Structures are given as C-alpha cells and as structure tokens.
Amino acid sequence: MSGQEALSIALRVFHPLRSEVITERVAVYGRVVHPVRNRVLDDGFLIFLKNPSSYTGEDMVELTLHGSPVVLDKVVRILISQGARMATRGEFTRRAFLNGKLDLLQAEAVIDLIDAQSEAAAREARARLDSSPACQIRELSDAIKNLLATVEAHLDFDEDGELGQPDLKADLQNIYARMKTIRQDSQQAVLFREGIRVCITGKPNVGKSTLFNALLRKDRAIVTPIPGTTRDPIEDRILLKGHTFALWDTAGIREPEGFIEDQGIRKTRESVDKADLIIAVLDAASGLDYMDYNILDICKSRRSVIVVNKIDLVPGSPHLDSFEMDATYPMVWVSAKTGQGVDGLERILANEAELMTQCGEGVADNIILSSRCLLSLDAAMSALQRAIQRCLEERQPKLDIVSYELRASLEPLEEITGEKVDEGILDRLFERFCVGK
C-alpha cells in the first residue's frame, strides 16, 4: 500500500506478535486478524517504508504473507474495507513519477524491463532505468530555449532592424544533428526491445512454412504439398543466444492466380519491406529459376540470409552449380523436414543479431528513447528542419515564423521528459502496466 494512511490502515489488520515499535525498513513478524470477527487469517511480515525514501515517494507498507490466493484475496478485501482501494494500472510507478522519484523516461523503462523478452531487451531497459536520457533531452530543450530567447529579443527590441538579423543556422543545424544521432541510436535499440523482425520468403512450395516450424520447434504453420497454402503472414518468436527474433512466415512470391492470392503476395512484400532481416528460401532439388532470381534481387539491398532447403532430396554431397550467390550473403544448406542444418542456420541468425546490435554491452553509453519518444522526437526534428530551411533559403528569414517553429520543436521535447505532458499521454503510458506496479 502507498499513501499517507498506509501504515494506519495496515495496523488495523496486522498485529505484531511482540510489542515492537514499527521501525522503517525493519521486517516485523505478526498476524493478520479480521478486524470484526477477531479471527486470525494468516501470519507473516510487515515492512514500513517512510516517505520520501520509498519507490513512490510516499509512505509505503508491504505485507508478506503465505501464497494462498483465498487468503490473499480475503486480506485485500479487508484492507479495502478499512479505507484502502485497489491500485489502477501502473499506479505505483505513476505516483513515483508525479512525486519526482522517476522521470517519464525511467517510468517507461520500468514497463519495458517487465515486458523484456530477451536478455538484450532487459539490458537495454535497465540501462534507461539506471541512466535516464532525460538530461540530454533537456539539454536540447535548453539550447532551443536559448535560441528562442534570442529571436524573441529581436522581435521585441529591434523593431527598426538596427541590430541586424541573428545568425541561427549553425546553432539550429548543431541541435538537429544531435537529435539525428539520438534517433539513430534509439532506432537500433528497437531491435533489443521488440526483437529482430525476420521475414521468411521465397517462391511457393520451397518449404518456408516447414522451416518456420523447424525454427520454432513446433507445428505453428500449416504445411501441405499444395503451393500457396500460406496466404496471410504468420508471426511467432524465438530466442537465440539472448536475442529475440520475430519470425514471419509469408505467402510465396509468384504471379498471382486470383484476388485472394494477390492479396497474400501483397502482404508478403509489405512484410519484406518492414523486415530487419530476410531469410530467402531456395529449393535444392529444383535449382534456380526466374522467380528465385526475382527474390534474390529483392535481397540485394537488404540484410539477408540464403537458405537452400530440401537437401534431403539431393543425393550425395549437396552442391548445385547453378547456385551462383553473392559471397557477401551468409548461406546455409538445410533440410527443414529432417532438421539437418537448422542448427547452422540458428548460429548464422545469432551472429547476424550480434552484428545488428553491436552496441550490445555498451548500450548504456547511447541515448535510447522509446517508441513514444521517437514519435515526439520526429515532430521536434520536423519543426526544426522547417526553421533551418527558412534560414537557408531566405536572406532575412521572418523571425516570427522561426519563433513559431522553435516553439513547435520545443513542445514535443518537453513531452518526452514529462515536463509538460497531458493526462491522456500518461493514461496511455501507464495502461501498459498491470494493476499496481
């Protein structure tokens, strides 16, 4: 429980076994007793955390009881009858933010740490929680405020233009460059939080769904000998050496034979465009044809892995002279049906993940923002870019318009740090939490 009356409410229910004075941060053993029926419900420990030295910055009480859901539910209902109430989603972290114990970026890091699906994601979230980027964002805000003060001073006190136009270009470009660096670092960190998006693509009936199931170690996609079985992309996740991969099994790329198949192929191309890594599957038994070459052309400008499947159908040592590949692409020969070579593909994927997230252990050295913050940063960069363009294209830019763009850039930066944020944004952020937290 958190709040001014947390201890008084708790002591109406919790009775120390000895006449102990409740001391901050000292576990006291006692019993939970029904306040009306005077019946013992459970025994356990009470710990009192006095403000402001608690997670929320308020008085807090923690009861540690036995794990019976029936007893715990009964105790919670009794505490509510004595004046407490159920916490809303993320309310403890929200109170910590409102009481200045955490900034908004750290509050987001809490839920990202809770939701982390891999060691890399947990490490990245922990880095943001321990070393919030709020200070660096405030430095950008302060730099814009300084420029804004210069511009507005000219507007207020230099009506006749005697002082000349302030030269803002270099300062604006420097701020924009710093924003761009933050965005690039944060975009890479998305791979930690959300996983590396991997699209398995190829022509129909090369074994994409069989490979998808082999990587998952379960039958997730329907596999038949009929080409075109997969219509909509199917997604699932795997964990390899601490990295999360979001795998997409997609429809085969070929000339569509009907509206439904056309839609499936369109969605495949969309998945390929969104992917961080492409697995292009080829058929060892049939060799390459024009459709394979079309798929390989798509891979040329993308990070890709070439998988030659169905080696169980090729007698002897798997080798096809017709497979002329760009040596820069990792290539592996597998039988998704028997599992042969799949472990080699997993090693290649793990290695690609290491290369793609090479900031790895040094992630704490970079300024990392969440997806919400990236949207705000994009808005700030757009406004700043318009101000830069005006200063570059006009010999004497209209300072009132420059002032407007600087304010438009400043506002989303203050939303990132939580200096100026409306209740709607807070509600959406803390809605991601479970009850309490």
pLDDT score of 407:
95
CB 299 within 8 A of CB 329: yes
> Given a cut of 70, is residue 101 above it in pLDDT?
yes
> Given a cut of 80, is residue 368 above it in pLDDT?
no
Round to whole Å and give the CA distance between 164 and 397. Answer: 12
> Given a cut of 80, is residue 180 above it in pLDDT?
yes
Residues in a beta bridge with 49:
60
Average pLDDT estimate for 120-142: 86
pLDDT score of 255:
53
pLDDT score of 259:
43
pLDDT score of 266:
58
Backbone angles phi, psi at 365, to 5 degrees: -75, -15
Tell me which residue of 6, 12, 4 sits closest to 30, measured CA to CA. Answer: 12
Count Cα neighbours of 225 within 13 Å in the Cβ-side half-sphere: 0
What are the C-alpha distances in Å from 180 to residues 23, 105, 128, 183, 382? 50, 19, 19, 5, 11
- Of 36-40, 139-143, 289-293, where does mean pLDDT reach its minimum? 289-293
Q: Is the dihedral of CA 173, 175, 177, 180 positive or negative?
A: negative
pLDDT score of 364:
45
Round to whole Å and give the CA distance between 153 and 168. Answer: 14
Listed ranges 3-7, 64-68, 118-122, 248-252; the one with the highest mean pLDDT = 3-7
> Given a cut of 60, is residue 256 above it in pLDDT?
no
Grade residue 174 by pLDDT with cuts at 50, 70 and 90: very high
Instruction: List all residues 6 or more positions away from 308 whose beta carbon is below 8 Å from its beta carbon.
Output: 282, 283, 284, 318, 320, 323, 331, 332, 333, 334
pLDDT score of 353:
86
**What tokens does 311 get?**
């080696």
Average pLDDT estimate for 124-145: 88
- Of 80-89, 266-275, 285-294, where does mean pLDDT reach its minimum? 266-275
DSSP states of 149-182 as a string?
Answer: HHHHHHHHH-TT-TT-----HHHHHHHHHHHHHH
pLDDT digits (tens, 9 = 90+) for 15-66: 998 877 899 999 999 999 999 999 999 999 999 999 999 999 999 999 999 9
Average pLDDT estimate for 85-97: 93
> Given a cut of 50, is residue 311 above it in pLDDT?
yes
- Of 191-195, 306-310, 417-421, where does mean pLDDT reach its minimum? 191-195
- Of 133-137, 216-220, 382-386, where does mean pLDDT reach its minimum? 216-220
**What tokens does 13 get?**
């229910």
pLDDT digits (tens, 9 = 90+) for 336-364: 999 999 999 999 999 988 887 764 444 44
State the chain's mean pLDDT as an integer: 83
- Of 96-105, 187-196, 414-423, where does mean pLDDT reach its minimum? 187-196
Tell me which residue of 348, 225, 326, 340 sits closest to 279, measured CA to CA. Answer: 348
What are the C-alpha distances in Å from 125 to residues 134, 329, 356, 364, 393? 14, 32, 18, 9, 42
CB 248 within 8 A of CB 198: yes
Q: What percent of the chain has pLDDT over 90?
A: 41
Instruction: List all residues 6 or more positions away from 433 whose beta carbon is below 8 Å from its beta carbon.
Output: 89, 90, 93, 110, 111, 114
Grade residue 160 by pLDDT with cuts at 50, 70 and 90: low
pLDDT score of 294:
80
pLDDT score of 163:
58
Could you give all domains of the chain from N- to C-terminal order, each with its CATH number?
Answer: 6-86 (3.30.1360.120), 134-189+370-430 (1.20.120.430), 195-360 (3.40.50.300)
> Given a cut of 70, is residue 252 above it in pLDDT?
no
CB 361 within 8 A of CB 370: no
Round to whole Å and give the CA distance between 257 and 325. Answer: 30
